[in-house]
Amino acid sequence: MKKTGKILISVLITVLLAGCWNSKDIQNLAYVTTLGIDYEDGKFKSYAQVLNFSNVAKAEGIEIGKPIPVWVGTGEGKTLTESMTTLYSTSQMRVFWGHMKSVILSENVMKHGLLEIYDMLNRYREIRYNIWIYGTGEPMSDVLTQKSILNLSPLETIMDSPLQTYSERSFILPEYGFKTIAQIKEPSGLAMIPRLEIDRTSWFEDVDKRPMFRINGAYFFQDREYRGHLSEDDLKGTRWIQRKLVRSPMNIPHTGRPVATLILVRPHLYIKPVIENNKARYNIRVSLNAYIDELATDTPPKKMEEMASEAIKNEIKVSFKKGLEKKADVFMLDEKLYRKHPKKWHQFHRNSPFILDEDSIKSIEVRVAIDSSGKYKQRVE
């Protein structure tokens, strides 16, 4: 009798133990790596990029350079949730969103509004916060089927691994989606979304052209409104406000034949708002270190530093002017006023949501210090 009781208790305890009742075999899941979102005729259209990780993983027996297939599923609906759930009806297996690395937004959906999109993405438990966000004017099907160099997977492109390229050439800083939404919701915030393009002319495989991603400028939102796109050339001056800038090249002088190419690193930016005649103006001070990457003409170091300072001043002025044309505060000057003089900020914004004009910058001071001339001495060999 005692033995029977012990057996029954053991069975009951076993039944109450937690188990993997709802577990799925990992090979039977469709792993979404990128989500593309478009908006047409009053409906959202979702594009889910799915990769076979057995082809992507770096393991023995995988042939480098062998084309890796990319699957793209589509769905449509009046809401983003509906468009994504219609995709499930044809997916053949459960779709898993926990490995998603980037979101691509069309120009149409950005004009429609970002907050509705991010509300859904942020609520769903599987989707992480640290997802890269981009805008594009390219066809979504072209973007999501784009391969990397050597036919590597999209995981090895700028779209999913942007910091590799940014560390070598720092122009447009990649952004996580949660940071973009945080900036949009700031009272004085400006949100910038990098523009992802496909360059179809720069790379070849043997004699055949091979398209590759590039980031060319950015889309801007001011006061939660879409303000349009500025190119990389338009935004050259904004790189000097990026504290995460790793290295960025510059020809000096900024007009005519270059005498040298400098690599500029470690920018330090200071913006001071001042109130003059019941108007906000700004003093901008930038300091950078540099080293000589190429020297075409013998030029004294002091002269090169002066030319670099003048070139940076010119880029800041051009980018600020281009931003004014779009009513976008590309240097986030308004935020400095909000932090330093909140009462004045509210007073100035009662009459107009955008208070910057061509006279808003009072002064620009730039200091460049050349630390190294590389392996050569500071002269032309």
CA distances from 74 to 40, 46, 49, 266, 380 (A): 14, 5, 9, 43, 58
pLDDT > 90 fraction of the chain, expressed in percent and rounded: 64
Instruction: Extract the tokens encoding 206.
Output: 């043997």
What is the chain's alpha carbon radius of gyration, rounded to the nearest angstrom? 26
Q: Is the dihedral of CA 219, 225, 227, 233 positive or negative?
A: negative
Q: Which DSSP helix (H) or strand (E) runs through 46?
A: strand 43-50
Indicate whether 225 pLDDT > 60.
yes
Report yes or no: 201 and 209 within 8 Å, Cβ to Cβ: yes
Write the burial class of residue 111 (CB in 10 Å: 0-12 exposed, 13-18 middle, 19+ buried): middle
Alpha-carbon distance of 330 to 232, in angstroms, equals 13
Alpha-carbon distance of 379 to 364, in angstroms, equals 30
Alpha-carbon distance of 199 to 57, in angstroms, equals 27
Q: Which residues contact 77 (CB under 8 A, 6 or more apart)?
A: 43, 44, 83, 84, 85, 86
Indicate whether 56 pLDDT > 60.
no
One-letter identity of residue 198:
I
Instruction: Extract the tokens encoding 213.
Output: 């991603």
Write the burial class of residue 373 (CB in 10 Å: 0-12 exposed, 13-18 middle, 19+ buried): middle
Compare 121 and 139 and report the one with higher pLDDT: 139
Whole-number pLDDT of residue 334: 93
Name which of 139, 366, 369 is nearest 265 in CA terms: 369
Q: Which residues contact 59 (CB under 8 A, 6 or more apart)?
A: none
Q: What is the pLDDT of residues 241-281, one digit of tens each?
A: 888 899 999 999 988 899 999 999 989 999 999 999 999 99
Q: How many CB atoms lie within 10 A of CB 139?
A: 13
Instruction: Extract the tokens encoding 333.
Output: 């000057």
Instruction: Extract the tokens encoding 345.
Output: 């900020």
DSSP assignment of 251-291 equals EESSSSS-SEEEEEEEEEEEEEEEE-SS-EEEEEEEEEEEE
State the chain's mean pLDDT as an integer: 88
Single pTM value for the model = 0.87
Q: What is the pLDDT of residues 295-312, one digit of tens each?
A: 989 899 999 999 999 999
Report yes or no: 311 and 300 within 8 Å, Cβ to Cβ: no
Q: What is the pLDDT of residues 35-54, one digit of tens each?
A: 999 999 999 999 999 987 66
Span 18-39, mean pLDDT? 77
Per mean pLDDT, which range of 107-121, 125-139, 265-279, 334-348 is the poorest? Answer: 107-121
Indicate whether 168 pLDDT > 80.
yes
